[in-house]
Structure 1
Amino acid sequence: MSTAATGRPGPDQLREWAPDVALGGAVLVLGMVEASRTKPFWEDWWDLALVVLGIAVAVALSRRAPGLALGLVWVVCLLQLLTGTPVLLAQLAIAAVAFGGARWGSTAVVWLSGLSIPLGAVVVVLFAASEVYDVIDDVVDYNSVIDSAYRLGSTWQVAAAVLGMFVLGSPWLAGLALRFVSRAEQSRVSQVAAEEDAARAVRMSEQAREIARLREEQARMARDVHDVVGHSLAVILAQAESAQYIDDADPERLKQTMATIATSARTSLQDVRQVLTTTQAPDAAVRSGGLDSLVDGVRASGHEVVSTVVGQPQPLPPELETVAYRVLQEMLTNAIKHGRRDTPVSVERHWEGELRIEVRNVVQAAVADDVTQPIRPVPAGAARAEEQPVREVPGQGLDGMRRRLAAVGGRLDVRRRDEADVQTFTATAWVPVRGGA
């Protein structure tokens, strides 16, 4: 059960208060012994007992409640002055209150405890001096020793004031020094913790960037492998299917087809090796063949391709050339996989401000609902073919093309059109044209 529920202090609180209570108890015992020697028990010495008790309680509170301890000391001292109670040596324990006010008190308590030291020393000296003059007045003729008493009293008061300020000021200064040392240590610990947090944040940021880089590299590699292998397998599959219809009386054509299959497989293997080993240089296949090599490869597989180039072709920087090559490669792969073999594949390249690549083919009925982008309005004056958005199917192909184009500021549009008795699948990519190498 918790301390708040029972209303009683817990074991931890008792252990924390034990040193303070022990110190206050020691002051109480010593003070009572001194009070008993100052006045006999049978005389009226309750004033001494109250002074000792108040000082003992203030000492016990000096660490946990320094402001309350300082106020209690002042109350005890004022009552002592009003009642004429003699000063006790046990009151030197007020030094512990001065230390606690400077060490653990608030800013106001620190200032009040510091100002209380000279003020308290002066009050105590004046009080003690009044008792000395009373003793002199009772024992000797006041008129005969007045001059020497004043001189002696003045010197004694100054010495007593300096001694009292030293007795109370030394603990106060020690507490103030420990206060600054503690704050400096806390500041150092906080600075070290902040530096550790900053270093940890930097490490986490670097790890996150490294993870993102590795994931991006993995995605890039997956897209490249998909483009290379997918296109090569589609071409090889088309060539193998066409080989089934070659007349047995034409072995040369069969050999040519098999050679084309072997060349496609060898090229694909080389491209895959390059993808797995090269991370910086542009694709060698792009540099050696270009976009025309893709069109020629599809034609060699037995598909009819109608290629059109509008405008003046421009040299592209390596990164844009790679994007254009891989995008056209994926478009032709989809056309081979999903298009009808008895209809030609239309490939248009427009060099008008930016490179626009458009691949259109007739779609087989089974795959007419593959993927497409939301339909844009058909430009004015164009043939009004019925365009339909269809469900999206996740895959590496379209996603890879979109990512490649988006990385260089391009865009992709994929749609299906209903034209007469057939359905066409049209993929259009826009590649920005910057100054070529």
Structure 2
Amino acid sequence: MFRSMTPAQLIVDVAVAGVFAVVALWSEVAGYGSGPVSLPASVLPCLLLAVALALRRVSPGLALAVAWIAAVLQMMLGRPPAVADIAIFAVLYATAAYGSRAVFWLGFASTIVGAVVITAYLFVVPGFAGGALSLSTLPVAFAVLIAAGFALMLSWTIGALVRTALRARENRAAQVRAEAEAATEQERVRIARDMHDVVAHSLAVVIAQADGARYAASADPAAATQALGTISSTARAALADVRLLLTQLRHAESAGPQPTLADLEELYAQVRSAGVELQVDVDPAPLAEPSAAVQLALYRILQEALTNALRHGDGRPVTVRLAWRSTVARGAAGVELEVRNGLKAGDRPRPSGHGLIGMGERASLVGGILSASDRDGDFVVTAVLPAGGSE
């Protein structure tokens, strides 16, 4: 029933209503004197209309009700239209601009009913317009009806336009907030995806090297030293990547340098140093420089696929096949990727795991497709990405 308003707005409305009451009362006293009958009959409607004016924004429905009470009282006392009646226009404006849906339409109905009541009152009560409606006064009555209806409807219509503008501004603000929240969420998902890829791959390499170093410590100290060196370099690289991602997460900075096709050899070297026999076949070679988005997606998909092979593989060689075609899915140039590895008995990557989901998201973001399934005892990841991608 009551709208939320700031203290400053309430003070302004009360002050305006107070000034209006003083002006309206002065007009009544100056026009009709201070006799025992006319003055009280003038004061009460003025005060009620001033109250309606004060309430027009904080409670448009209550203000409309008070304005109707004042108007009915004014007619019951036989008072003519006065300066105080100007408040009615402000109340009708407020019902359209700030009222609820019910108050909005009650204000509209009040413009029509009010125009009819004003006309009937002026042409029926003795002392106004001859005190009776006749053929001679009918044209004047019709003109008064049209004028009163136009004036009242104009106030309500202006309020309705303001209401539309306010709603449009609120919708725009809500849309901007929603877009900002969506962009923030997308950025967080991207960072989380990168974090998973970096940490999962690096930890898989570190674990494999640590296991190898433990067994080689007594039999082959040189191999153990080399494994420890690989652990150190892998961990340092992962720490640098994690720090970069955390900086982006905290400060919403632009993305730093991202892996490209030139970094694939380093990725292969990390996997081979972890004890995995890796066979890479690139045929044919890239026809042109792919977009940065496709290079990043290809690197991360291949990184996660090799991480899965490292964690779930049965020791057989892992094969990687890259084929850059002039035409792939959807008729565009792109790359076909296939990673095949054996599986330990009863072990396979979970379809609901973050790794497989992340690979699918990366492929989808650049307009490609990805599938992962068991084939003849092997786990095969296949991705088809367009060369241009979706930046």
TM range (shorter): 0.5 to 0.7
Does 2:382 align with 1:402?
no
Whether the 8 Å CA contact 1:360–1:426 is kept in 2: the answer is: yes
Partner residue, 2:290:
316
Q: 1:352 aligns with which of 317, 320, 325?
A: 325
Q: CA deviation at 1:322?
A: 0.7
Is residue 384 of structure 2 the alignment partner of residue 411 of structure 1?
no
Do 1:95 and 1:172's aligned partners in 2 also have CA atoms closer than 8 Å?
no
Within-5 A mapping of 1:6-405 = 17-23=72-78, 66=117, 69=120, 91-94=126-129, 116-117=136-137, 177-246=147-216, 248-278=218-248, 280-281=254-255, 283-286=257-260, 289-314=262-287, 315-340=289-314, 342-353=315-326, 354-368=334-348, 370-371=349-350, 392=351, 394-405=352-363
Residue matched to 2:379: 425
Q: Do the aligned residues in 1 keep the contact of 2:324 with 2:335 (CA within 8 Å)? A: yes
What per-residue deviation string (whole Å, max 9, x for no partner) do you get for residues 239-271 of structure 1? 111112215253222111101100000011111
| 2:17 corresponding residue in structure 1 | none
Residues in 1 aligned to 2:69 and 2:156: alpha-carbon distance in whole angstroms: 26
Work out whether residues 259 and 295 of structure 2, in 8 Å CA contact, stay in contact via their aligned partners in 1: no
Alpha-carbon distance between aligned partners in 1 of 2:276 and 2:304, rounded to the nearest angstrom: 16
Would you say the 8 A contact 1:412–1:428 is kept in 2? Answer: yes
Q: Give the letter aligned to residue 117 of structure 1.
A: T
> Is the CA contact (8 Å cut-off) linking 2:126 and 2:132 kept in structure 1?
no
User: 1:188 deviation in Å?
Assistant: 1.7
Q: How many Å separate the matches in 1 of 2:132 and 2:160?
A: 29
In the alignment, the residues of structure 2 paired with residue 96 and residue 337 of structure 1 have an alpha-carbon distance, to the nearest angstrom, of 100
* CA separation of 1:238 and 1:178: change in aligned 2, threshold 3 A: same
Residues 85-115 of structure 1, C-alpha deviations (whole Å, 9 max, x = no match): xxxxx844345778xxxxxxxxxxxxxx9x7
1:187 positional shift: 1.9
1:273 Cα deviation from its structure 2 partner:
1.9
Alpha-carbon separation, structure 1, partners of 2:255 and 2:236: 21
Partner SS, residue 372 of structure 2: strand
State the one-letter code of the partner of 2:167: D
TM-score by length of 1: 0.57
Partner of 2:108 in structure 1? none
C-alpha deviation, 1:349, in angstroms: 0.9
Distance 2:309 2:71 in 1: 82
The Cα shift of 1:199 comes to 0.3
SS in 1 for 2:128: helix
Cα deviations by residue, 1:171-214 (Å, 9 ceiling, x for unpaired): 98677555433322222211111111000000000011011101
Deviation for aligned residue 1:23:
2.5
Tell me, what secondary structure is at the counterpart of 2:339?
strand
C-alpha distance in structure 2 between counterparts of 1:97 and 1:427, whole Å = 94
Partner Cα distance (1:198, 1:424) in 2:
58
Unaligned runs of 5+ in 2: 1-64, 80-112, 327-333
Preserved CA contact (<8 Å) 1:313 1:351: yes
**Does the 8 Å contact 1:225/1:275 carry over to 2?**
yes
If you compute each CA radius of gyration, which structure gives the higher value, 1 or 2? Answer: 1
Distance 1:426 1:257 in 2: 28
Letter in 2 for 1:276: L
- With 12-21 and 230-239 compared, the bigger mean Cα shift is at 12-21
CA–CA separation in structure 2 for the residues paired with 1:192 and 1:347: 65
Q: How far apart are the structure 1 equivalents of 2:366 and 2:74? A: 73
For 2:189 and 2:354, the matched residues in 1 are separated by 9
- 1:31 maps to none
- How many residues align structurally? 279
Runs (5+) with no aligned partner, structure 1: 1-10, 25-61, 74-89, 99-112, 120-168, 372-391
Matches of 2:132 and 2:216 in 1, distance apart?
111
Task: Identify if the C-alpha distance between structure 1 residues 263 and 178 changes in structure 2 by more than 3 Å, giving closer, same or farther.
Answer: same
| Structure 1 vs Structure 2 CA RMSD | 3.4
2:180 and 2:365 map into 1 onto residues whose CA distance is 19
Q: Conserved in 2, the CA contact under 8 Å of 1:274 and 1:283? A: no
Which deviates more from structure 2 when the two are superposed, residues 262-271 or residues 308-317?
308-317
Task: Give the secondary-structure state (helix, strand or coil) at the position aligned to 1:356.
Answer: strand
- Asked if structure 2 preserves the Cα contact closer than 8 Å seen for 1:271 and 1:285, the reply is no
Q: Which moved more, 1:219-228 or 1:318-327?
A: 318-327
**Does structure 2 retain, via aligned residues, the 8 Å contact 1:282–1:318?**
no
Partner of 1:55: none
Alpha-carbon deviations, 1:351-397, whole Å to 9, x = none?
Answer: 223211111111112324x44xxxxxxxxxxxxxxxxxxxx4x2321
For residues 255-294 of structure 1, the C-alpha deviation after alignment (integer angstroms, 9 at most, x for no partner) is: 111011000000111111222335544644437x422221
Q: Which amino acid aligns with 1:307?
A: V
